[in-house]
Amino acid sequence: MSIAIKTTDLSRAFADSGAKDKNFWALRDVSLEIPEGCIYGLLGPNGAGKTTLIKILSTLLLPTAGEALVAGYNVDNEYEKIRPIINMVSGGENCGYGILTVAENLWMFTQFYGIPTKQAMAKIKDLLEIMNLSEKADTKINKLSTGMRQKMNFIRGFVTDPKILFLDEPTLGLDVNAARETRKFVTDWVKNASEPKTVILTTHYMQEADEMCGKLAIIDHGRILANDTPKNLKKQEAGGVSYTINVAYRDFDPQILRTLPGVSSFAHSVLNEQGLIEMIFNLSDDSALARIIEKINSLSFSINNIQKKEFTLEDAFIKLVGRRLSGGEGDTL
C-alpha cells in the first residue's frame, strides 16, 4: 500500500517567552505513516500539537527537526508540488467575502487552483445539491447562518478534488442531521474514489472518530502516545472494567479517588445544569468498586447513579492521556 504521509522524528519548537533562551516543543519526535485511501484520525486535547502537525503537513509551517513527506514530497523544499494536491477545512472558520454569494466565493477559490470555470461551476452545483445548499447559491454569505457557512466551507474543501484533505473539526456548528450527512459524504468520498483519497481528521467527537477512522493517533504534549485502529485501541487499553458514577456536586480532592487500590485511571467533569459531578473510573476488576463506593460515602457525597459500561474509545483516550478529550475545568486526571 502506498503511503500518503510519512513523518520521521518530526519536531517543532517555538520560542518560550516565559523562559529565557529556552524553547517550547509543540511537537517532539513524531513518526507516522498514513496510507493512501483512508480516513486517519488525530485525537488530542487542546494544545496537544495537532494544529502544529497539520500546519507542517499543509506547508504552512516548517519543522524544526525531522522530516515530513506528503505524497512523497518534502514539506521543506517541495511545497509547490504539495499545495495543488491538498486542501484543508477548519470548523468554525470564517472564510470567504461577505459581499460575494456562495457560488461566487466557491468559484473564486477554484480559480486559485487554476480550475476551468465550466468545470468548476459544474462541480460547485453538484456539491451544493449534495449538501442541500442549492437554494442559497445566490445568497451573500454574510446573510447565512453559522451552519450554512460551515456547509459552504465544507464544500470549499472538496471542490478542488484534492488528493489529500485535512479536516479540522468539520462538523463544528452543524446540527445533528447535517453532521451525519457530512460524515457519510466524507466516508463515501474516500470509499468510492476512482483514485486514492486520503483524509486527515481531527475531532472532539469520539463517536465521529470511532465511526469514520480506519486508523488514528492519540497525541499529547507533542508526542504520539498510540497509533492503531479504534478497535485495537479499545481492546489494548481496556484491561479491566469501566464505571460511571454521578454524585451530587460538592468540592473534593480528586487525588483521594485517583489513588485508590484497583483504580487504573480516573476522570471527572461537572454537569452544571444537573448539579452533578460525573466520575469515570477505569478499574482493574470489579472488586475495586466496593472500595470506591465506601470512599465516596465517607466523603459525604450523595450517589445519584452507578452504571457499568463497555470500554469505549473515550475510555482508551482517558487512560492514555489522563483527561477527557472535551477538556474543561475538572477534567484533569
pLDDT at 229: 94
pLDDT at 243: 92
pLDDT tens string 272-282? 888 999 999 98
> What stretches in the chain show pLDDT beneath 50?
327-333
pLDDT at 328: 38
pLDDT at 273: 83
Burial 277-303, CB ≥16 within 10 A → b, else e:
bbbbbbbeeeebbeebeeebeeeebee
pLDDT tens string 107-164? 999 999 999 999 999 999 999 999 999 999 999 999 998 889 999 999 999 999 999 9
3-state SS track over 94-133? CCCCCCCEHHHHHHHHHHHCCCCHHHHHHHHHHHHHHCCC
CB 147 within 8 A of CB 67: no
pLDDT at 14: 92
What predicted TM-score, i.e. pTM, was given to this entire model?
0.76
pLDDT at 22: 75
DSSP class of 135: G
